[in-house]
Chain A
Amino acid sequence: MTTRAVEPWTLEPMVGFVQEAGARLVLVMTSAGQVLAQHGFSRAMDVMSAAALGAAIMASTDEIARQLDQPPFAALNHQGERHGIFLAAVPTNRGRLVVLVVYDLDVSSLGLVQLFFGQLAADLRAASPKPEVPKQVLAADFERDLGNSLNALFGR
């Protein structure tokens, strides 16, 4: 199974979580859908689609919570016949991150994922670096940064 991180501090917490919770796929991303680390994906397209969809679901549930005048929902779980999807946010020094987990119902369970997600959230918070002064985004840097991220995630 491939496990890769664009930001290395995310790797150890994610690997620990995958082992303990028996997760099949994991994405750690920003709330805008920028991937920081992934486990189990083999194709760049799958990662980008999953990140975009996960970020969109989080944005939708945040908006529902806002309309209900409630704080954002802690986590979302959706179970199918053989797999479950667990989506939750983690506040860190790097900003609010979103974690998407896909688990096999034969191997893991919502209880296990919830249990070890608590540890993952604590580990990510502890490992996240203090925020830096934001750089100006240049079109010239964008392609290079995107290329670097894909290289880090898929080793190309």
Chain B
Amino acid sequence: MTIAPAGGGFARALDLVTRVRGVRGAMLVTGDDGLVVAEQLMEGIKGPAVAALAASVARRLGRAMETAGVGATLFWHLQAERGALLVVPAPSGLLVVAVAEPEVNVGLVRLELLRAAEGVG
């Protein structure tokens, strides 16, 4: 697991997420720019690429939600064959992103992502 230099608060927020069984990494990403602020990722996960693309999806989803008149996005989960991407936007504009294995406990990850988002909010 690689740990990018970050403030203690950010590291603690990511710890909440990465300690969940089946989570392969967690990141704090700037929602506007798609840049990595802090990360704790297993080897082989391309942090900057995931950050840029996740932020891009988040922006588009946000627009779709607003257009649909259902308000701001609180949590999203994309399930793929070999894993999942789970994201919670923090009030500060940061995104808390988790990359997980397919059989991860999504409810638990969501809970920890929300707690992490509160922590960095």
Chain A interface (Cβ < 8 Å from any Cβ of B): 105, 108-112, 114-115
Contact = CB atoms under 8 A, between A and B. Distances in A.
Nearest to A108: B56
Chain B interface size, under 10 / 10 to 19 / 20 to 34 / 35 or more: 10 to 19
Given A109-B55, A109-B56, A115 B49 contact: yes
Contacts of A110: 33-35
A105 B53 contact: no
A114 B32 CA distance: 14
A112 B30 CA distance: 12
20 contacts: A105-B32, A109-B33, A109-B34, A109-B52, A109-B56, A109-B59, A110-B33, A110-B35, A111-B29, A111-B33, A111-B48, A111-B56, A112-B34, A112-B52, A112-B53, A112-B56, A114-B48, A115-B48, A115-B52, A115-B53
Contacts, number: 35
B51 interface: yes
B32 A109 contact: yes
Nearest to B30: A111
Contacts of B51: 111
What 5 A-B pairs are tightest by C-beta distance, nearest first? A111-B34, A111-B52, A109-B34, A115-B52, A110-B33
